[in-house]
Amino acid sequence: MLYREAGQFKTTYAADQQLFPIRQDRVAVLALLAVAYVAVPLLAADYWFNAILIPFLVFALAAIGLNILTGYAGQLSLGSAAFMAVGAVAAYNLELRVPGLPLLVSFALAGVCAAFVGVLFGLPSLRIKGFYLAVATLAAQFFIPWLLVKVGWFSNYSASGVITAQPMAILGYVFDQPVERYLLVLTIVALLALAAKNMVRSAVGRSWMAVRDMDVAAQVIGIPIVRTKLTAFAVSSFYCGVAGALYAYAYVGTVQPEDLNLDLSFRILFMVIIGGIGSILGSFLGAAFITLLPILLEVGLHAAAGQFGLNLMPGTTSMVQLLVFGGLIIFFLIVEPYGLARLWQVTKEKLRLWPFPH
Amino acid sequence: MQFFFEVLIGGLLSGVMYSLVALGFVLIYKASGVFNFAQGAMVFIAALAYVTLAERFGLPFWAAFGLALAAMVLIGILTERVVLRPLVNQPQISLFMATIGLAFFLEGLAQLVQLWAFEDLSPRPLRLGIQDAPIERLMSDFNVLVSSFDLFAAAVAAVLVAALALFFNKTRIGRALRAVADDHQAALSVGIPLKYIWAIVWSVAGFVALVAGLMWGARSGVQFALTLVALKALPVLILGGFESIAGAIVGGLIIGASEKLAEVYLGPYVGGGIEGWFAYVMALLFLLVRPEGLFGEKHIDRV
């Protein structure tokens, strides 16, 4: 009833091509931003920022990065966490060694560093595809953290390669309270998500999708395969790199490159699969799902154990978590290959007809 | 020079252990075109099933082996029914991601079983009654250290490969498997029941996983780290080619030997610990030259 576009006429091309063509969508996005910027900082406790909201935003950004590569350009990567590690270490070194470099600039340059590394490891994609490529990206996942730990320079010769992020200061103002860090991360992620959303509907994004759907055919109609694949790797790694910098600076503070391991890469892949392959919204939904699920499982299992008077052995929740993750991945791939984002789309279609379907 | 040969032989023999795991990948890939990321989890769960039956319930070797095999067959059949059949005709990459999900599921399940059976997650020793000690004769005559266990593993791998080769080439089911691998549609149209064939392939892969699990379990204890062995087998596959049993063996030998040699001769210059990624980087460089691996079939794109 409320979600109707009747009466909304578009009189210019700009109006027709805007990001959210339906007025209700625009209102909803603005309302969501208002909630994120005003209501959440007023209401949420520190625990929420530290344990849920900041990791959610950071992983959503990494998931957008992987989604660009896997969902839009069709190149499966299992090395996202390694590119995050590159971003984190690069930001740390830039802040450490270039005095007076603004924080946001070093975040951006960290993304650029990650992009370079991404292109380097994306080179095999020119000759190989599918799971051969997935295995090749595993090489990045094993090699990069090792290199970052082994070469002492990267971590300023700290023990076992640990980097400790400097305080985040912009124009002399230090972002150290959880709510401040949250607002900074939120702003960066929102801007980058907007950029991604626009990129995937531009010429670049369309050529990614053409290569994904059939690379030989894309080549025949004149899309430069080499450039398209490498830009996908570059942009994807840029997003992962910035996510890594935010992970280090806004979320954990102290990072060992080995923390950003294969497990995290898989988690990011799961966010993309469950959230929705080839959807920016899906990256957020998937990140929220994967961030919240362990917490809900933990609470639920303990509640259930308390109810039945069982004694949970330590580690049980992490195993149940593996079971649930694995089961959900298979379930989503079979039942809804386009993930939560597709469910949301279907709901919207239903809403437009509600309450009088055909 | 002596030291070189010792490292080389050690590397070749540990390469055989990688090949054992890689064989499971090749089997499933050959017969269904699925790249089964869960092979490592299957190795772990198979070894754990055996060790639970043998140690916790005190069953003799053959009984425990038989029951563990039955469990693996059951897992294979369930996988075919629950995971693969609904995903028929999906892109290969979806199937690959589904097997990643399967790997997580099996890892969680295996650890719960371990927790239930032994009440902790420490490595369980697995005794096959073979000494992991250097062979005296080689030691005294040639002054070369070769573990008898490694030789035993190599013999097992040889028997396994021979048995699989016989199975694929001489038996009715084996021929059906090869037909399915060549072309699903054509195989179906001459009356080969695809469902049973896939269930059989997954069961055979379960058997290979069990053998690999026993060898690895006897070597380093049955523990969660066994799932990581699969990650070692991936570069072997890239090098040898996904479709070739011979490739799995030769790739394993090359990876094993070069990894050990690199660790010994190259490691000191870069600070050691290169075993984790050396095989991958080598496979990656190799891919740039020969994208289909040593023995893989040349892939031709048709539009």
3-state secondary structure A235-252: HHHHHHHHHHHHHHHHHH
Q: Do B93 and A131 touch (CB under 8 A)?
A: yes
Q: Within 10 Å of residue A1's Cβ, how many Cβ atoms?
A: 7
What amino acid occupies position A31?
A
Distance CA B195, CA B198 (A): 5
Task: Provide, as residue numbers in chain A, all residues whose Cβ is less than 8 Å from the Cβ of B100.
Answer: 266, 269, 329
Contact A233, A125 (CB under 8 A): yes
Closest CB from B112, B274, B303 relative to A319: B112
The Cα-based distances of A57 to A50, A245, A249, A250, B41 in angstroms read 11, 13, 13, 10, 31
Q: Do B104 and A326 touch (CB under 8 A)?
A: yes
Q: Which residue of A has its CA nearest to B116?
A: A313
Q: Which residue has the higher pLDDT, B128 or A175?
A: A175
Asked whether residue A15 is assigned to any structural domain, the reply reads no
Q: What is the pLDDT of residue A349?
A: 86
Residues A70-75: what's their mean pLDDT?
A: 92
Q: What is the pLDDT of residue B193?
A: 84
Q: Which residue of B has its CA nearest to A142?
A: B277
What amino acid occupies position A55?
P
Residues A160-187: what's their mean pLDDT?
A: 87
Range picked from A261-275, B10-24, B183-197 for highest mean pLDDT: A261-275
Interaxial angle between packed helices A54-66 and A178-200, expressed in degrees from 0 to 180 and rounded to the nearest 10: 20
**Beta bridge partners of residue A163, listed in sequence order:** A255
Calculate the CA A54 to chain-centre distance.
12
In sequence order, which ranges of chain A are alpha helices (DSSP H)?
13-17, 23-34, 40-43, 46-47, 54-66, 80-97, 103-122, 130-150, 178-200, 203-213, 215-220, 225-246, 262-275, 280-308, 316-335, 339-353
Q: How far is A53 from chain B (nearest CA, A)?
A: 26
Q: Do B104 and A130 touch (CB under 8 A)?
A: no
- The confidence band for A171, taking pLDDT boundaries of 50, 70 and 90, is confident
Scan for tokens 């204890």, then name that residue: B221
Does the pLDDT of residue A117 top 90, yes or no? yes
> Which of A78-82, A155-159, B134-138 shows the lowest mean pLDDT across its residues?
B134-138
Asked whether residue A346 is assigned to any structural domain, the reply reads no
Closest CB from B86, B98, B111 relative to A329: B98
Domain range spanning residue A170? 22-261
The string of DSSP codes covering A181-214 is HHHHHHHHHHHHHHHHHHHHTSHHHHHHHHHHH-
**Closest by Cα among A192, A223, A191 to A206:** A223
- The confidence band for A16, taking pLDDT boundaries of 50, 70 and 90, is confident
Where is A164: in which H helix or E strand? strand A163-164
Does the pLDDT of residue A315 top 80, yes or no? no
Asked whether residue A301 is assigned to any structural domain, the reply reads no
Asked whether residue A59 is assigned to any structural domain, the reply reads yes
**Which sequence spans correspond to the domains of chain B?**
2-289
Q: How far is B170 from chain A (nearest CA, A)?
A: 31
Calculate the CA A201 to chain-centre distance.
18
**Closest by Cα among B8, B42, B95 to B229:** B42
What amino acid occupies position B285?
L
Q: Residue B209 in 3-state DSSP?
A: helix
Does the pLDDT of residue A327 top 80, yes or no? yes
Distance CA A194, CA A189 (A): 8
**Average pLDDT of chain A?**
89
Scan for tokens 């290169």, then name that residue: B274
Does the pLDDT of residue B85 top 80, yes or no? yes
pLDDT digits (tens, 9 = 90+) for A251-289: 998 888 888 888 899 999 999 989 999 899 999 999 999
Asked whether residue A310 is assigned to any structural domain, the reply reads no
Asked whether residue A304 is assigned to any structural domain, the reply reads no
Q: Within 10 Å of residue B60's Cβ, how many Cβ atoms?
A: 9
> Which of A92-96, B199-203, B271-275 shows the lowest mean pLDDT across its residues?
B271-275
Q: What is the pLDDT of residue A162?
A: 87
- The confidence band for B135, taking pLDDT boundaries of 50, 70 and 90, is low
Contact B39, B205 (CB under 8 A): yes
Q: Please give the class, per CATH, of domain B2-289.
A: mainly alpha
Query: What total of structural domains would you count in chain A?
Result: 1
Distance CA A300, CA A283 (A): 25
Does the pLDDT of residue B83 top 80, yes or no? yes
Does the pLDDT of residue A61 top 70, yes or no? yes
Q: Do B108 and A134 touch (CB under 8 A)?
A: no
Instruction: Check residue A77 and report its DSSP letter.
Output: -
The upper half-sphere exposure of residue A79, i.e. CA atoms within 13 Å in the direction of its Cβ, equals: 34
The Cα-based distances of B87 to A43, A337, A342, B152 in angstroms read 45, 10, 18, 40
Distance CA B19, CA B240 (A): 10
Distance CA A229, CA A129 (A): 11
Distance CA A65, CA A241 (A): 9
Q: What is the pLDDT of residue A201?
A: 92
Distance CA B100, CA B33 (A): 15
Distance CA B250, CA B272 (A): 26
Q: What is the pLDDT of residue B274?
A: 78
Distance CA B55, CA B212 (A): 18
Distance CA B294, CA B290 (A): 7
Q: Cis peptide leading into B235, omega within 30 of 0?
A: no
pTM assigned to the model: 0.90
Q: What is the pLDDT of residue B249?
A: 87
Asked whether residue A305 is assigned to any structural domain, the reply reads no
- Spell out which chain A residues touch chain B, with contact meaning CB-CB distance below 8 angstroms: 74, 76, 123-124, 127-128, 130-132, 134-136, 138-139, 142-143, 146, 150, 214, 216-217, 220, 262, 266, 269, 273, 313, 315-316, 319-330, 333-334, 337
Q: Which of A121, A133, A330, A331 to mutate to test the interface with B (most CBs of B within 10 A)?
A: A330
Q: What is the pLDDT of residue A306?
A: 81
**Closest by Cα among B259, B216, B264 to B235:** B259
Does the pLDDT of residue B263 top 90, yes or no? no
What amino acid occupies position A136?
A
Q: Which of B97, B115, B263, B299 to mutate to test the interface with A (most CBs of A within 10 A)?
A: B97
Distance CA A272, CA A279 (A): 8
Q: Which of B29, B37, B96, B280 to mutate to test the interface with A (most CBs of A within 10 A)?
A: B280
> Which of A165-179, A321-335, B140-154 shows the lowest mean pLDDT across its residues?
B140-154
Q: Which of B28, B104, B266, B282 to mutate to test the interface with A (most CBs of A within 10 A)?
A: B104
> Which of A32-46, B64-78, B113-127, B161-175 shows the lowest mean pLDDT across its residues?
B113-127
Residues B3-26: what's their mean pLDDT?
A: 84
Does the pLDDT of residue B303 top 60, yes or no? no
Asked whether residue A164 is assigned to any structural domain, the reply reads yes
The Cα-based distances of A60 to A204, A270, A354 in angstroms read 22, 12, 31
The Cα-based distances of B112 to A329, B191, B209, B227 in angstroms read 19, 41, 19, 15
